[in-house]
Amino acid sequence: MKAIHIPQLTQATEQTEVIEVNEFLPSLETLTPIQGQIRVNHQGNYLDVSAQAETIITLACDRCLQQYNHRLTTNASEIIWLDEAPPSTVPEPTEVELTAEDLVETLPARGYFDPNVWLYEQLCLAIPQKQLCEQQCAGIKPVVEPEGAILDRRWAALADLKQNEFQEHNGG
């Protein structure tokens, strides 16, 4: 996907560009191409970006460590503020003060919007924190019998032996 030159969006129909997505992202390993749509709308001092996209990725189960395929979908929308300041401006040496604005995305108004980077971020956010191959996953199946089971079997064998002795003793 080609990056969009932000000023050019204002020339587009309804200041909107719709990108059809049907491709792999080099930064995200997926089994199938990412399919969907990204819509970028220029609102003067911000971009209104939204996407519906889906793909299939391979995850490793947190419990049993088996790999499984997961349908990853995103239905994201985000406001990206446009910074009008020319990039050559040297920031004034004022004290750094964190405001709410620092926590939102900003792009230079005369710069580019990269749909690859943005979609990658949205898909990463959609990856489940807890990865389970299935809700009922019992975890790693024990290969070795638990000690208790072996012990029980020995006791059982011993009990059988005693039972036989008893029968021989009384039967003969």
Q: Which residues bind Zn ion (CB under 5 A)?
A: 61, 63-64, 133, 137
Residue 123 CB, nearest distance to Zn ion (Å)? 22
Residue 71 CB, nearest distance to Zn ion (Å)? 17
Pick the closer one to Zn ion by CB: 68 or 112: 68
Pick the closer one to Zn ion by CB: 107 or 137: 137
Of the candidates 112, 90, 88, 105, the residue with the CA atom closest to the CA atom of residue 1: 112
Of the candidates 118, 109, 127, the residue with the CA atom closest to the CA atom of residue 50: 118
Residue 66 CB, nearest distance to Zn ion (Å)? 5
Pick the closer one to Zn ion by CB: 28 or 132: 132
Pick the closer one to Zn ion by CB: 7 or 139: 139
Q: Which residues of 56-95 are buried (b: 16+ CB within 10 A; e: fewer)?
A: ebebebeebeeeeebebebebeeebebbeeeeeeeeeeee
Alpha-carbon distance 46 to 43, whole Å? 5
Residue 74 CB, nearest distance to Zn ion (Å)? 24
Q: How many CB atoms are located within 10 Å of the residue 135 CB?
A: 5
Alpha-carbon distance 22 to 110, whole Å? 27
Residue 148 CB, nearest distance to Zn ion (Å)? 25
Pick the closer one to Zn ion by CB: 28 or 137: 137
